[in-house]
Amino acid sequence: MTSAKSFALPIIGLFLLVLMKLSYGQSTTAPSPSAEGPSSDGQAIDQGIAYVLLALALAITYLIH
């Protein structure tokens, strides 16, 4: 059993290393298409609603537990 653990640990470490490298994404960023300034397309509102729903789900889970 010890040899299986000593074999699996480097494999898991290599897998996590590859995942960390992939998380960096694209190294060069494209320039902004326009310099109009900030505009609201509803993304901030959607994200706010998502945060409220997440907090509500967390509260309900805490109360049920």
Comparing 33 with 45, which gets the higher pLDDT? 45
Look over the chain and give the mean of its residue pLDDT values, rounded to a whole number.
Answer: 75
> What is the domain partition of the chain in residue ranges?
2-64
DSSP track, 1-65: -HHHHHHHHHHHHHHHHHHHHHTT--SS-PPPS--------SHHHHHHHHHHHHHHHHHHHHHH-
Average of per-residue pLDDT across 13-18: 77
Average of per-residue pLDDT across 38-52: 78
Model pTM score: 0.39
